[in-house]
A and B are shown apart, each in its own frame.
Chain A
Amino acid sequence: DGGITQSPKYLFRKEGQNVTLSCEQNLNHDAMYWYRQDPGQGLRLIYYSQIVNDFQKGDIAEGYSVSREKKESFPLTVTSAQKNPTAFYLCASSIGLTPSYNEQFFGPGTRLTVL
């Protein structure tokens, strides 16, 4: 059963702590993405990776970090430098990078609440 998994579904952290969100895909996709979704807002791109060991900043990368050591995994760390980390985080993947030729498939999301 192919797909994208994100864990956990809900995550609570104290202010000042770093937290890592998991994203795993078994679709054999090369490209992976992290988006942030706030109430009443569209999806904003945090980081994306076209291939293993390579990743690029998106529109709102400040306060976040990623790694891509394996094709199937793209974890996102929300650092204490992120000023407003409470949000819904979505991971996505696609075969390739060009949106018009490669549908992005989304995971179920992780809702992060920083107390």
Chain B
Amino acid sequence: GENVEQHPSTLSVQEGDSAVIKCTYSDSASNYFPWYKQELGKGPQLIIDIRSNVGEKKDQRIAVTLNKTAKHFSLHITETQPEDSAVYFCAASKVGRDDKIIFGKGTRLHILP
């Protein structure tokens, strides 16, 4: 089955700097890659996603890139702000009988003042 690896597990960046979180997946049939943000004591919330027919997607300060050949995808947050502090999860899924989302283990992002 699909396996999603996420790095780093913890990331600290100075406010205003950029943050990058990287994920790899094992199943080449995966074609949908969402990213979730989980604030303390809350459930995860979808912040951006990318499909396998697209190499990059951007939404204001966040962007996601996908390299299908290497089977890895990354989340980029620019001009980080205190409210970006949270746990971020990458995930992968594919259209088919086994329509499940497989999550990475998460990255705890700390924005330092």
13 inter-chain pairs at a CB distance below 8 angstroms, sorted by A residue, are A42-B102, A42-B106, A44-B103, A98-B95, A99-B100, A99-B101, A100-B51, A103-B34, A104-B101, A106-B44, A106-B45, A108-B41, A109-B41
With an 8 Å Cβ cutoff, the count of chain B residues facing the other chain is 26
Q: Is B113 at the interface (CB under 8 A from chain A)?
A: no
Contact flags B56-86 to A (C-beta < 8 A → 1, else 0): 0000000000000000000000000000000
Q: Mark B residues whose CB is within 8 Å of A.
A: 4, 6, 9, 31-32, 34, 41-46, 51, 89, 91, 93-95, 99-106
With an 8 Å Cβ cutoff, the count of chain A residues facing the other chain is 22
Inter-chain contacts of B93 with A (CB < 8 A) = 99-100
When chains A and B are docked, how far (Å) is the Cα of A38 from the Cα of B20? 23
Rounded to whole Å, the gap between the CB of B59 and the closest CB of chain A is: 14
Task: Using CB atoms, name the residue of chain B closest to A96.
Answer: B99
Task: Using CB atoms, name the residue of chain B closest to A92.
Answer: B43
Inter-chain contacts of B42 with A (CB < 8 A) = 108-109
Which one of A40, A59, A99 contacts B99 once the chains associate, using CB atoms below 8 Å?
A99
Asked if B44 contacts A43 (CB within 8 A), the reply is: yes
Asked if B43 contacts A90 (CB within 8 A), the reply is: yes
Q: Is A97 at the interface (CB under 8 A from chain B)?
A: yes
Asked if B99 contacts A109 (CB within 8 A), the reply is: no
When chains A and B are docked, how far (Å) is the Cα of A10 from the Cα of B27? 37
Asked if A42 contacts B4 (CB within 8 A), the reply is: yes
Asked if A41 contacts B105 (CB within 8 A), the reply is: yes
When chains A and B are docked, how far (Å) is the Cα of A45 from the Cα of B41? 19
